[in-house]
Amino acid sequence: MSSETSTEPSGAFRPFHFFLLSGVLAATAAVLVTSERSPAALIVLSTTVIAAGIAAAILYQVVLPLVAPDRLVARARQQATGRARLEREKMLVLRSIKELEFDRAMGKVDDRDFEEMDARLRLRAAGLLRQLDAGQDVRAWIAAELGRRLDAARLEAAASPECPSCGTANESDARFCKQCGARLDA
């Protein structure tokens, strides 16, 4: 389970850190206790112990969903992915804006193309910043946008002309039926 929440700093201590730290401490203890002093043997021993710690962390992540209540696991996943995705996407959009400005300065991008791409990127960056400020999850935004588009598609489908010959629903700008080819009356 991830302990990262929207109120905690991104450097919060997580279970993976515990397993990695335990592996390093166990490797140090194994090197100190062993009677073998050749460098190759010590490296193999410490690598093996650290790998066991990483394997324990992976096993923990695999077993957690089987033993933890579903809501705890779902909440941990949501907290770990929602804000992190927004932050990552914001960083990528801002980097894209800088690269676009650099490409324009180098003469690689037309002024008209620059204006169009810059406007889209800045609009997306502003939307991401609003989402981060509001604490809105990306999934909720996508669901709302999808619902809006589906509603628009339903309205368009309701306004689409029906063929008088076969009764097939056609696109609103269609002049002929897509099923039978009969002329549609305007």
Please give the pLDDT value at position 96: 93
Please give the pLDDT value at position 8: 44
Assign 36 to helix, strand or coil.
coil
**Dihedral (CA of 119, 124, 128, 133) sign:** positive
Do 93 and 128 meet the contact criterion of CB atoms below 8 Å apart?
yes
Residue with tokens 């990262």: 4
First to last CA, the chain: 60
Query: pLDDT tens digits for 49-89?
Result: 999 989 998 998 888 777 766 666 666 666 666 777 888 89
Please give the pLDDT value at position 17: 83
Mean pLDDT rounded to a whole number for the chain: 81
Domain spans, the chain? 1-68
User: What does pLDDT average to in each consecutive run of 10 residues of the chain (186 residues)?
Assistant: 44 78 89 87 90 90 75 64 81 93 92 92 90 70 82 74 83 83 80
167 conformational bin, left if phi > 0, alpha if psi -120 to 50, beta if neither: left
Q: Which of 46, 16, 43 is nearest to 29 (CA)?
A: 46
Between CA 12 and CA 26 the distance in angstroms is 23
Please give the pLDDT value at position 6: 41
* Residues in Cβ contact with 136 at an 8 Å cutoff, skipping those fewer than 6 apart: 130
Count CA atoms within 13 Å of residue 92 on its CB side.
7
Structure tokens at 19: 């397993």
CA 25 to chain centre: 34
* Residues in Cβ contact with 169 at an 8 Å cutoff, skipping those fewer than 6 apart: 157, 160, 161, 162
Please give the pLDDT value at position 80: 61
pTM, entire model: 0.35
Do 56 and 19 meet the contact criterion of CB atoms below 8 Å apart?
yes
Please give the pLDDT value at position 1: 41
